[in-house]
Amino acid sequence: MREAHPIERTVGMAHYVSDADGVGGRLRVAPEDFRVTELEAFDTAPVDADTGGYPHLVLRVELRNWDTNDFASELSDRLGVSRERVSWAGTKDKRAVTRQLFSVKGIDPGDLPAIDGATVEVVGRAGRPVLFGDLAGNAFEIRVRDADRPENAASVLADLRAFAAGEDGDGGDATPTLPDGERTVGVPNYFGQQRFGSRRPVTHEVGLAIARGDWEGAVLAYVGNPSEREPEATQDARAYAEETRDWAGALDRLPRSLGFERSMCHRLAESADGPGDYRAAIEELPENLQTLFVNAAQSYVFNRVLSERLARGLPFHRPVEGDVVCFSDSEAPDDLPLPDPDRTQRVDASRLRTVERHCERGRAFVTAPLVGTETELADGEQGDIERAVLADVGLAPSDFDLPGAFHSTGTRRAILLRTDLGVARQDDDLAFSFALPKGSYATVVLREFRKGDPDE
CATH code of the domain occupying 297-414 = 3.30.2350.20
Q: At CA 391, angle to CA 389 and CA 397, rounded to 5?
A: 90
pLDDT interval class at 171 (50, 70, 90): very low
Q: Do 56 and 105 meet the contact criterion of CB atoms below 8 Å apart?
A: yes
Tell me the pLDDT tens digit for each residue of 327-382: 988 777 767 778 999 999 999 999 999 999 999 988 999 999 999 999 999 999 99
- CATH topology agreement for domains 42-133 and 297-414: no
Contacts of 391 (CB under 8 A, 6+ apart): none
Domain range summary for the chain, segments of one domain joined by +: 2-32+138-189+417-450, 42-133, 198-285, 297-414
Q: Which residues are catalytic?
A: 93
Tell me the pLDDT tens digit for each residue of 35-65: 999 999 899 999 999 999 999 999 999 999 9
DSSP 132: T
Tell me the pLDDT tens digit for each residue of 268-300: 998 766 666 999 999 999 888 999 999 999 999
Residue 275: predicted pLDDT: 60
What is the rounded radius of gyration, in angstroms, for the C-alpha atoms of the chain?
A: 23
As assigned by CATH, the class of the 198-285 domain is: mainly alpha
Which own/partner contact pairs does 106-112 have at CB distance under 8 Å and 24+ positions apart? 106/51, 106/55, 106/81, 107/57, 107/79, 107/81, 108/57, 109/47, 109/57, 111/79, 112/59, 112/79
Q: What is the value of pTM for the model shown?
A: 0.91
**In this prediction, what percent of the chain has a pLDDT beyond 90?**
82
Q: Do 387 and 322 meet the contact criterion of CB atoms below 8 Å apart?
A: no
Topology classification of domain 42-133: Alpha-Beta Plaits (3.30.70)
In the predicted model, is pLDDT for residue 75 greater than 70? yes
Amino acid at 154: A
- Smallest CA-to-CA distance from 190 within 337, 302, 78, 348 is with 302
Q: Is 332 left (phi over 0), alpha (psi -120 to 50) or beta?
A: beta
d(CA 167, CA 164): 8
- Smallest CA-to-CA distance from 325 within 307, 302, 348 is with 348
Residue 274: predicted pLDDT: 60
**Dihedral of CA 55/58/64/68: which sign?**
positive
